[in-house]
Homo-oligomer: A and B are copies of this chain.
């Protein structure tokens, strides 16, 4: 309890509206647009009310990011529950809308220690989740041992993030061929039927 100012409750309509506004601005204009006045305007509120629900802008930012990472982890768990978890994960992760947000938060991690820690924690959880579900389920298309669940996860995450983000920017060169390669690899690695 280092606070002296009054703070609003966790479950409030306006609080949620502020979190939504952060995410929308992050997507559309990037983190540089995240001023208190800007966020509140987007939420249709007077900007001073922001400081009633969140002590600082950093607190608001972190709360929005946490909500986002938790939601993504949930959706990943759902995808992994299917009979073709690798296919499902790829479909989820290569979505351009999500990728744009992911990259923006990654860039923000570069100069905000709280966000950096959250990014690291999220990445670690995601890796464990996906690689854990994939472990022992991958068909080895080649004689080599390099295609571990973790290595495949990292590669899918990387290619999906970049392709998705470029799509959000309107850049499409080489995407069709890259996606064909990923699709081929995913098909090779994961049997059509449940193992």
Contacts and interface: CB of A to CB of B under 8 A. Distances in A.
Interface of A: 28-33, 100, 103-104, 106-111, 116, 119-120, 123-124, 127, 131, 141-142, 144, 146-148, 150-155, 157-159, 161-163, 165-166, 168-171, 173-175, 177-178, 180-185
Contacts of A141: 142
B154 A163 contact: yes
Contact of A110 (B144, B155, B157, B169): B169
Given A30-B107, A110-B168, A150-B178, 12 more contacts: A30-B111, A32-B111, A109-B169, A120-B171, A141-B142, A144-B184, A146-B180, A146-B181, A146-B184, A152-B181, A154-B175, A162-B162
A175 B158 CA distance: 11
How many copies of the chain does the oligomer comprise? 2
Nearest to A172: B120
B169 A159 contact: no
Given A158-B162, A174-B131, A178-B155, A106 B109 contact: no
